[in-house]
Copies of this chain bind each other. A is one copy, B any other.
Amino acid sequence: MALRHAVLAALLDGELSGYQLAKAFDLGVANFWYARPQQLYAELARLEKEGLIAGREVVQETRPNKRLFQVTDAGLEELQGFAAAPTKPSFIRDDLLVKVQAADHVTTTALIAQLSERAAFAQAKVDLFDKLLRTMRGDRTEEEFLHHGSRIGPYLTCQRGLAFEQGNRDWCERTIAALRERQRTRARP
């Protein structure tokens, strides 16, 4: 049950509606977790019933009303407990890696296409995260921000996301190069 904690952590930055939260989690902009809108609405309902978050209705005229949620004291305690409990290790789980693992027994042309698609996707996220980091630290240097800024949590997780996507991009590119080279040299034996 880590989604609930991811939601709590996301709400620490201020009140959000289910829809806003869903967008962040769905696009993966929330670079520390990923979830579908339906999961989030369900989780928000559960969290509210348990008193870990509190919602308030905001009436809107031009568009549907929405509910903004914020973390309660009980919610903070829950997060505290979660943070203190031992963390289980996380593993990669990626379809693309499975495909590359099988690269020697499978058509590589389609695989290369998918790798370059992934590389482009990763690059887009690199750009996004880079922008986000700059926005968060404003005109301060990174060191200054990390020492004196309030709310460095999102900054730190964003750094991990950045490095992860850089790693993705670089690996995709090097893998493409390796597969292409073999295609070339093995085309006419």
| B-binding residues in A (CB < 8 A) | 2, 5-6, 8-10, 12, 28, 31-34, 76, 79-80, 82-84, 86-107, 110-111, 114, 117-118, 121, 146-147, 150-154, 156-157, 159-161, 163-164, 167, 170-171, 174-175, 178, 181-182, 185
Query: What are 24 inter-chain pairs, A to B, with CB distance below 8 A?
Result: A2-B95, A6-B101, A9-B99, A9-B101, A12-B102, A12-B105, A31-B92, A79-B106, A82-B99, A83-B110, A87-B118, A88-B95, A90-B92, A90-B94, A90-B95, A90-B96, A92-B160, A92-B161, A100-B157, A102-B153, A104-B151, A152-B178, A159-B174, A164-B164
Inter-subunit contact A98/B181 (CB<8 Å): no
Q: A147 contacts which chain B residues (CB < 8 A)?
A: 181-182, 185
